[in-house]
Amino acid sequence: MNAVLLPYQSRWIDDRSPVKIIEKSRRIGISYAEAADSVLHAADADRGANVYYISYDKEMTSGFIQDCATWAKAFHAAAGEIGEQVMTRDDGRDVHVYDIPFKSGHHIRTFSSNPRNLRSKGRPRERLVMDEAAFVDDLAEVLKAALAMTIWGGTVHIISTHNGDENPFNALIQDSRAGRNDYAVHRVTLDDALADGLFRRICEVTGSPWSIEAEDGWKASLIRRYRPNEDEELFVIPAYGGGAYLPRSLVEVNMADGPLLRFDGTRAFNLAPEPDRRREMNDWINDLLLPELAKLDAQRRHVFGMDFARSGDMTDIVPLEIGADLNKRWPFLVELHNVPYRQQAQVTLAVGNGLPRFDGCAIDAGGNGGFVAEEARDEWGPTMVDEIHFTEQFYRDEFPRYKAGFEDRTTTVIRHDDVLEDHRAVRLVRGVPRVPQGKTDKKGERHGDSAIAGLLADFRSRQDGAAFPQVLTSGSRSMADKTAGYYSRPLFSAY
């Protein structure tokens, strides 16, 4: 097989390290070589095992399984027909699972990059191939699940082009080179591939004559097509800040001291009767939230944004103070973890009712967040509440405006590591800035929550306010307030 493959492809296959990584140029045939080796591994009844392949989209998994079928035919390996099954994920998306059975009793299977798919894998000598790992949703979690394969002699092969210097794939490579783990690292640039005969092979396949002049012209044309991303895509140089839409340096320079007020709902709290939960939450409001609200400048206009979650992630509420110069500042951040809907509404109303010159809010109203959004609308009226259902268009329009506040130094967020990591989690997904699927922190409790809440607060700050100049910030609502569309509820009671 070495005569068929180019030297860099052979070096990759010949490396039998338990975990190996390759950072590579685009379209140089590493996945094709991996397919060949995978067929030989799955076809070997004595020393082989199952091979599992994951990537970030259907086209790549389909292409890999077709390459495997081609190699199986070339090797005369006893393999069955490709099987395909369509499964529905928890979020409603269809996932295509491909399978090639071999007479050896082993299989080559492809599936999505959900870490749960790997939890039952890891029999002796089984192999995982992770392709374009820099674009997989939660590389750290996938890798954590995959490493169990190495316990019984299995291997993990990680293949990818780069996706920014702050991407977990690049961090994995840097850690390997620094000796923090014992993973083998390969690197193949376009120049490396050309030196090993890539363009000669292209000419053989396409039937074109090779010459050094033709190769130089082909390379120059390829570089022009990839500009301005040729360094990352072709020469394996991760783009500065390319992995994060809001790089660390951009966020950190816009940070200032401010408290993070967090409430974690224990199991006992969640099982308690609602009146008991309300009283406990009211104590938290009085002890922690009210003192921070009392510090706010009564002359400044305020809004807030809320990213809702029930238990898996954090609910984040970002109050935003709008200065006379239109600069925007987070005075504090509220986080609720594993808190029932009614107590989330209780805190939400407390925030809005306590903000001086309250000028409205934007609330994540998708799914169960609609409950809190409805409570806010009933409390303050529809002109004061933007009920947001996230769409690609919303992210496309609003994230650049939010980012501009950081670039222009007109937005200040609180100084906290969770806030930094939430903002660094925002990525360009198919050209649109958003928080990708999967957890964004090592504890598995966050999904860019404060960044989304900050985005919503910023969005609300640019909307036309209500027709009236101010909402009362203490005491009971008066009859005049009722005529303006409000409920007459005692402050902070909510129910």
Q: Average per-residue pLDDT in the chain?
A: 87
Residue with tokens 């600069």: 327
Measured CA to CA in angstroms, residue 357 lies from 111, 259, 360 at distances of 52, 21, 9
Q: How confident is the model at residue 242 (pLDDT cuts 50, 70, 90)?
A: low
What does the domain layout of the chain look like in residue ranges?
7-235, 248-483
Task: Provide the β-strand partners of residue 433.
Answer: 428
CATH number of this structure's domain 7-235 = 3.40.50.300
Phi, psi of 308 (to 5 degrees): -95, 145
Q: Quick check: bond before 228 cis, omega within 30?
A: yes
If one compares 52 and 166, the residue with the highest pLDDT of the two is: 52
Q: How confident is the model at residue 87 (pLDDT cuts 50, 70, 90)?
A: low
Pairing mode, strands 301-307 and 19-24: unpaired
Q: Is the dihedral of CA 163, 168, 171, 173 positive or negative?
A: negative
Task: Render pLDDT for 332-384 as a digit per residue (tens, 0 to 9).
Answer: 999 999 999 999 999 999 999 999 999 999 999 988 899 999 999 999 999 99
pLDDT at residue 56 tops 90: no
Distance CA 428, CA 436 (A): 9
Task: Render pLDDT for 114-156 as a digit per residue (tens, 0 to 9).
Answer: 656 665 676 899 999 999 999 887 888 888 888 988 999 999 9
> What tokens does 395 get?
């992210």
Neighbours of 266 (CB within 10 A): 9
pLDDT at residue 2 tops 80: no
| Residue 435, pLDDT score | 86
Measured CA to CA in angstroms, residue 408 lies from 253, 324, 412 at distances of 11, 16, 11
Q: Give the mean model confidence (pLDDT) for residues 28-51.
A: 96
CATH number of this structure's domain 248-483 = 3.30.420.240
pLDDT at residue 330 tops 80: yes
Q: Give the mean model confidence (pLDDT) for residues 422-440.
A: 78
| Residue 402, pLDDT score | 93
Q: Give the mean model confidence (pLDDT) for residues 221-228.
A: 90
Distance CA 236, CA 483 (A): 64
Q: Give the mean model confidence (pLDDT) for residues 288-316.
A: 93
pLDDT at residue 90 tops 80: no
Neighbours of 382 (CB within 10 A): 12
If one compares 241 and 11, the residue with the highest pLDDT of the two is: 11
| Residue 211, pLDDT score | 97
| Residue 479, pLDDT score | 27
Residue with tokens 């609602």: 274
Lowest mean pLDDT among 6-20, 105-119, 398-412, 434-448: 434-448
| Residue 345, pLDDT score | 96
DSSP string, 135-196: GSTTHHHHHHHHGGGGGGT-EEEEEE----TTSHHHHHHHHHHTTSS--EEEEE-HHHHHHT
Distance CA 140, CA 146 (A): 10
Task: Render pLDDT for 264-290 as a digit per residue (tens, 0 to 9).
Answer: 999 999 999 999 999 999 999 999 999
pLDDT at residue 215 tops 60: yes
| Residue 3, pLDDT score | 73
Q: Give the mean model confidence (pLDDT) for residues 296-319.
A: 93
Distance CA 455, CA 440 (A): 17
pLDDT at residue 481 tops 60: no
Q: Give the mean model confidence (pLDDT) for residues 64-93.
A: 77
Lowest mean pLDDT among 211-225, 420-434, 471-485: 471-485
